[in-house]
Amino acid sequence: MSAAPAVLPAIRITALGKRFGADGPLVLDDVTLSIQPGEFVCLLGASGCGKSTLLNIIAGLDAPSTGTVTVASGSAAVMFQDAALFPWLTAGRNVELALKLRGVPRDKRRGKALELLDVVNLADAASKRPHELSGGMRQRVALARSLAQDRKVLLMDEPFAALDAITRDLLHEELERVWRETGRTIVFVTHNVREAARLGQRVLLMSSRPGRIANEWRLADDGPRRIESPEVSRLSIEITEQLRREIRRNAA
């Protein structure tokens, strides 16, 4: 009986380094990392540690100075902190635009956009423009637009940072549900320790100056976690202690 074929990582990063300018400071140093298909990874660290730079390199928006990055599916969808919706287009049309750029025929775009808005529980707001939506609703439209790109990898750069705690918690539930339903590989950048402990199957802590992977935590996937659960609290305390040590080390 032949062995099952090995599953390639969704993202493979090898000895990655990044320096802005020939004589600029080293931002990322020797980052080596594999992320498996369908995995939810949270990338955590203090401001300026290189989290967003690493995400931009994975997305192909920036190039590494050294090392390599391979996205097995070829490319990734990206969702930023700012929803960046076109204000003159309805929620549905914003999603349709992403479908148009993907090459979906015109006669199929509206129906598909409504399906995607339904995935994020926002189908009833398809005809509303961004100014008629709350911040949380705009981010859900942005998530639907990211899903419209139909990429197997979704990169999220602090997408809920500007939202209040209650809205953020509701969107955590929405995102986890979407992740489980779609099987996407998600890399989620945050500086919020509890958010990382709430969402991630794996939490990676980055050091600063230059950014390296300082530690990682793997969490058992026993179903949805609540942000106030004892498990999240315990992990948050542990990660916070190490994060504080990293910040003190870099301040010395």
Average pLDDT over the chain, rounded to an integer: 88
pLDDT at 22 over 80: no
What is the C-alpha separation between 16 and 118, in angstroms, rounded?
A: 39
Can you tell me the mean pLDDT for 13-21? 91
The least confident of 3-7, 54-58, 148-152, 246-250 is 3-7
Task: State the pLDDT at residue 226.
Answer: 78
Nearest-10 crossing angle of helices 106-119, 165-182: 120
Task: State the pLDDT at residue 90.
Answer: 94
- 165-187 pLDDT tens trace: 888 888 898 899 889 988 999 99
Of the candidates 89, 168, 100, 158, which has an alpha carbon nearest to the alpha carbon of residue 130?
A: 89
Of the candidates 173, 184, 117, which has an alpha carbon nearest to the alpha carbon of residue 144?
A: 117
SS3 state of residue 71? strand
Pinpoint the residues of the chain covered by CATH 3.40.50.300: 11-76+154-251
Task: State the pLDDT at residue 3.
Answer: 55
With cut-offs at 50, 70 and 90, classify the pLDDT of residue 251. low
pLDDT at 9 over 70: yes
Q: Please name the helix (run of DSSP H) or strand (run of DSSP E) that holds residue 204, with its range, or none.
A: strand 202-206
What is the C-alpha separation between 58 and 142, in angstroms, rounded?
A: 20
| CATH fold of 11-76+154-251 | Rossmann fold (3.40.50)
- 63-89 pLDDT tens trace: 999 999 999 888 899 998 888 899 999
Task: State the pLDDT at residue 245.
Answer: 83
DSSP label of 179: H
Contacts of 91 (CB under 8 A, 6+ apart): 85, 117, 122, 125, 126, 127, 128, 129, 130, 133, 137, 141, 144
What is the C-alpha separation between 97 and 103, in angstroms, rounded?
A: 10
With cut-offs at 50, 70 and 90, classify the pLDDT of residue 126. very high
pTM for the model: 0.90
pLDDT at 249 over 80: no
